[in-house]
Amino acid sequence: MVDFENTSFDSITCLFAKNDKPWILHKRLAHIHMSHLNKLVSKNLVINLFEIKFEQDRLCDACQKGK
């Protein structure tokens, strides 16, 4: 938790794991399958979708509960 009133914005550090970006997009795009995300990237069907290799290295909790 960050106290914005007593903290300067120069000292705030945002930690972001690069490996989580495919899974964040998986969740944001209605839990779409990773192979479909690869097709979207390869055919440039989504604007500003970075060149990310989507691999299913684990199972999403929400997808597991849905099955």
Per-residue pLDDT reduced to its tens digit, 6-22: 666 566 666 555 557 78
How many degrees, rounded to 5, is the angle at CA 63 between CA 16 and CA 58? 55
> What pLDDT is stored for residue 15 in this prediction?
56
Question: What gap in Å lies between CA 67 and CA 52, rounded to an integer?
Answer: 26
Report, as ranges of residue numbers, the positions in the chain whose pLDDT lies below 70.
1-19, 50
> What pLDDT is stored for residue 2 in this prediction?
55
> What pLDDT is stored for residue 8 in this prediction?
62
> What pLDDT is stored for residue 1 in this prediction?
57
> What pLDDT is stored for residue 25 in this prediction?
84
